[in-house]
Amino acid sequence: MIKKVIFENLGRIRYKEAWDYQEKLFESVVREKSEKKEEKEQYLLFCEHEHVYTLGKHGDKQNLLIANHVCKSKNIDLHTIDRGGDITYHGPGQLVVYPIIDLESFGMGIKSYISTLEDAVIDTLESYGIKGEKDDKAMGVWIDVADPPKARKICAIGVRASRFVTMHGLALNANADLSYFNYINPCGFRDRGVTSIQKELGHEVDFEEVSDRMKEAFVNRFGMELSYRLKHF
C-alpha cells in the first residue's frame, strides 16, 4: 500500500536546529499514532548541515581525536545525541536524510527498515555507476567491502525508534570535504576509510541531482507518495 509522506527540504541548517525540529515532528507522529489516526502525518526531511560531529548514545568519546576547544576553534559543532552508532561527521556537500515515519504503517521492523535505507542509497549510487554494498557487521553503505584494505564508507546510518516511530537517518557523502573525517574514527572504525561520490567519480556532482535521485529511491523502496511542504519553523 502506498503511504503518504510529507517531504521538506530544510536546506543548509545547523544540526541542533534540525534535531529540535525532528523531535517536534517525532512527537506529533507518536501522538497521532497513540490516537489511532488512520491518516497520520509522516515526514521525510532532506538537508545539509554546517560542520558538526555527532556521537551516538553508546559511542566512545575516544573516537573524537581532537579536544573540544579545537572543535570550537575550527567552527565545528559537537553534540552527543540519542541515536545508535558511534561518532560521525556532517557538513556541507553531504546529503542528510531524516525519515520520521511509523514503521508499523509500512509493515517494517527495525532491521528491515535499516536494510531498506541502505537499499535506497545503493540505488542512488548505482545511478552514478558506483557499486554500493552492505556489510553484515556494520550499518551503512560501503565500497569494496570484501577487500578490507580498500573498504571505504560512503554513507553512514544511525537511527532511533520509539514505538516504531523513527528519527535520525542517513548521511551520504556527495561532495563533502573528507578531511573532516581525519579528526575522528568514523563510526568507531580505525582501519577503514571514507569516500564520496565526488571522490569516486573524480569530479563534483550536482547536489540537487543527488537529492532528486535519492528522493526517487525512497519513493520506490518504501512505497511513498510525497507531498511537498516548505519548512515552517
pLDDT at 102: 96
pLDDT at 189: 65
pTM listed for this prediction = 0.93
pLDDT at 230: 80
pLDDT at 188: 59
Return the DSSP state at 210.
H
Give residue-wise pLDDT tens across range 46-100.
Answer: 999 999 998 887 778 888 887 788 888 888 998 888 887 778 899 999 999 999 9
Is pLDDT above 80 for 187? no
230, 110, 150, 181 alpha-carbon torsion, rounded to 10°: 50
Q: Whole-angstrom Cα distance, residue 119 to residue 143?
A: 14
Enumerate the β-bridge partners of residue 152.
Answer: 143, 193
Q: Picking from 111-120, 188-197, 205-214, which range would have the lowest pLDDT averaged per residue?
A: 188-197
Is pLDDT above 90 for 45? yes
94: cell is 553531504
52: cell is 558538526
82: cell is 540519542
Is pLDDT above 70 for 190? no
Catalytic residue among 47, 71, 155, 187: 187
Return the DSSP state at 187.
G
Question: For this structure, is 187 an active site residue?
Answer: yes
Average pLDDT (194-211) is: 98
For the chain, give the percent of residues with pLDDT over 70.
96
Three-state DSSP class for residue 138: strand
Closest CA to 71 of 52, 93, 88, 55: 52
Three-state DSSP class for residue 134: strand
Confidence of residue 186 (pLDDT cuts 50, 70, 90): low
pLDDT at 231: 66
Enumerate the β-bridge partners of residue 43.
Answer: 6, 100
Average pLDDT, the chain: 92
- Residue 155, sorted as left (phi over 0), alpha (psi -120 to 50) or beta, turns out to be beta
